[in-house]
Amino acid sequence: MTEVGILEAKTHLSRLIEQVEKGEEVVITRHGKPVARLQPMTSPVKPLDAAALEAEITKLREFRRGRTLQDATLRDLVEDGRRTRE
The tens-digit pLDDT sequence of the chain (86 residues) is 899 999 999 999 999 999 999 999 999 999 999 999 999 988 777 777 899 899 999 999 999 888 877 888 888 888 888 776 65
Measured between alpha carbons, how far is 4 from 6 in angstroms, rounded to an integer?
A: 7
- Are 22 and 16 in contact, with CB atoms under 8 Å apart? no
Q: Are strands 2-5 and 33-38 parallel, antiparallel or unpaired?
A: unpaired
Residue ranges, CATH 3.40.1620, the chain:
2-38
CATH 3.40.1620 fits 2-38, yes or no: yes
Using CA atoms, how far residue 86 sits from 17, 65, 73, 74, 83, in Å, is 45, 33, 21, 19, 5
Measured between alpha carbons, how far is 84 from 86 in angstroms, rounded to an integer?
A: 6
